Amino acid sequence: MVISFWIIITITFVLMHKIPGDPLTSLPKNLPDSIKTNYYIKYGLEKPLLQQYGIYIKNILCGNLGESLIYPGREVKDIIREYSPASITLGIQATVLGFLAGTILGVFAALKKNKLSDRIINIIALLGISIPSFVVAALLQYMFSVKYQFFPVTGYSGFSYTILPTLALSIPIFAAYGRFVRTSSLEVLNKEYILTARAKGIKDSSLIFKHIIRNGIIPAITILGMQLANVLAGSFVIENIFAIPGLGTHFVLSVVNRDYSVIMGLTIFYSALYMGSLLLSDLLYVIADPRIKINGRSKGRPTGTMAEEL
C-alpha cells in the first residue's frame, strides 16, 4: 500500500513538472520577471525540483497536502472535504442504480433469449453504451427541467438535484452490466445443474435468484471495483452540465491550470479511493460466491489477493 502510494506520488510529481508551463503560464497575461519571482518564492517553486519533492513528501507525512496555487487561501484538504461528498454521493447512487437495473434486465434478457424483449433490451444497452453521457445529460436536463419542470436545472442542494445527474451517470453503467450479466447468465443457463434443478421441479423464482443471478453476477463484480472508483472520482462532463460542485471538474481544471498541489492531492485521494473499491469488490465476491470464502480460508489467504486468483 505505502509503496504503491509512493510510486504514484513520485510518478505524478515528475510528470506534472515535466509538462511545459507552470501555474503562472496558464494565466492569460505574461508577467514581469520580478513579479514571477515573488510568486515562485511564495510557493517555493524556485527551489530545485528534488528539494521541492523532498518538501512535498515531508509535508504529506505530516498530513499536509498544501494550498491551491490558483485559488488563494484554499487548502487541498478543504477542497477534497468540500467537493468529494457530491461526487461520491452521485457515484454511489449511479453505481447502485446501474448495477441493479443492469442485473435485472440482463437476467430477464437471458431468460427471453432471442425473443422480442431480449432484442429491445439489447438495443437499449447498445444505445446506452454508445451515446455519450453529455448528450444524455443535456437531453434529460432539457426534457425534465425546462420543458417539464420536474427537477431543478442545475446545482446541488438536496436529493431532487441529484436525480438527473444520477440517471445520466448510471446509463452507461447500466448498459455495461446489462450486457455482461446477460452473457454470463446465458452461460449459467446452459449448465447441467440448471437442467437438474429444472428436472427436480424447482420454482422459477428460486431458480432465478438462487442459481442464475448468484452465478451470473460474479464476473460483473470484477468490473464493479474499477467502475466504482471511476464513478466516485466524479465525471467532469456531468458535473459541468449540472453545475455540481464535485471533484471531477477540479481534477481536470487543476491539470489545465497547472495547480500543482491540487493535482497531487487529488491523485493521492483517487488512488486511495481506487484501492478501497478494489478491496470492496473482493469482499463482494465472498458474499456472492461462497466457494471463494471457503477456498480462501482454507489456504489462509487474506481476502485482498483474491482478485488475482480470478
Partner 1 sequence: MNIIKECQQQKGGKLVKIKKNLAMLLIFTVVIATSIGGCSTKKDTADLDTNQHLTISLNAEPESLDPSRAVDSYSSIVIAECQEALTRCEQDETGKDIIKAAGAKSWEVSKDGLAWTFKLRDNLWSDGKEVAAEDYKYGIMRTLDPSNGGRYSGLLNSIKGAEEYVSGKGKAEDVGVKAIDDKTLVFTLKSPCPYFINLTYFKLFTPQRKDYVEKYGEKFGADAESIPSSGPFVLKSWKHKSTIELEKNNYYWDKDSVKLSKLSYKILEDEQGRMDEILNGTVDIGTVEKKEWKDKFDSLGKFNIIGGYEPVTDYIFFNTKDNLFKNVKIRKAFSAAINREEYVKTLFPRTRVAAYGFIPPSLQIGEDDFRTIAGSEPLKTLLSNNTDVKGLFKEGLKELKLAQEGAGGSGGTNGGSSGGSSGVSSKIISDDPAKVTITLTAVGTNAKQKQIQEYFQQELQKNLGCQVKIDYVDGGAYLDKLKRGDFQATAMAWTGDYNDPMTFFEIWTSKSMMNFTFWTNKTYEDNINKAASTTDQAVRLAAFKENEDIIVNQEAVCVPLDYRQRSQYQRNYVKGYMSTLFGSGFECKYAYTSGRK
Binding mask 211-250 for partner 1 (x = CB under 8 A): -------------------------xx--xxxxxx---xx
Residue showing cell 515573488: 38
Pick out residues in 116-155 that bind partner 1 (CB under 8 A).
Answer: 132, 134, 137-138, 141-142, 145-146, 149, 152-155
Q: Binding marks (x or -) toward partner 1, 65..84, rule CB under 8 A?
A: --x--xxxxx-------xx-
Mark 247-285 as b/e (b = at least 16 C-beta within 10 Å).
Answer: bbbbbbebbebbbbbbbbbbbbbbbebbbebbeebbebb
| Residue with grid cell 467502475, as numbered in its chain | 227
In Å, how far are 110, 192, 200, 207, 303 from 197, measured between CA atoms? 17, 9, 5, 8, 31
Binding-site size for partner 1 (CB under 8 A) equals: 58
Least Å distance, CB 273 to partner 1, is 18
With CB under 8 A as the contact rule, which of the stretches 18-26, 95-103, 177-185, 289-297 interacts with partner 1? 18-26
Q: CB 300 → partner 1: shortest distance, Å?
A: 43
Q: Is residue 76 a contact partner of residue 261, using CB atoms and an 8 Å limit?
A: yes
Q: Which is nearer to partner 1, 66 or 216 (CB)?
A: 66
Site string for partner 1, 251-290 (x = CB under 8 A): -xx-xxxx--------------------------------
Q: Which of 7, 27, 127, 226 binds partner 1 (CB under 8 A)?
A: 27
Q: What angle (nearest 5°) sits at the alpha carbon of residue 208, between those of residues 207 and 210? A: 65
Instruction: Select 26 or 52, whichever has its Cβ closest to partner 1.
Output: 26
Task: Tell me the H-state helices in 75-115.
Answer: 76-111
Region label for 35, one of left (φ > 0), alpha (ψ between -120 and 50) or beta (otherwise): alpha
Q: What cell numbers appear for 99 in the block?
A: 448495477
User: Could you give the CA distance from residue 33 to residue 271 in angstroms, rounded to a whole number?
Assistant: 37
Nearer to partner 1, 7 or 256 (CB): 256
Give the footprint of partner 1 on this chain (CB under 8 A).
19-22, 24-32, 34-35, 37-39, 42, 67, 70-74, 82-83, 132, 134, 137-138, 141-142, 145-146, 149, 152-157, 236-237, 240-245, 249-250, 252-253, 255-258
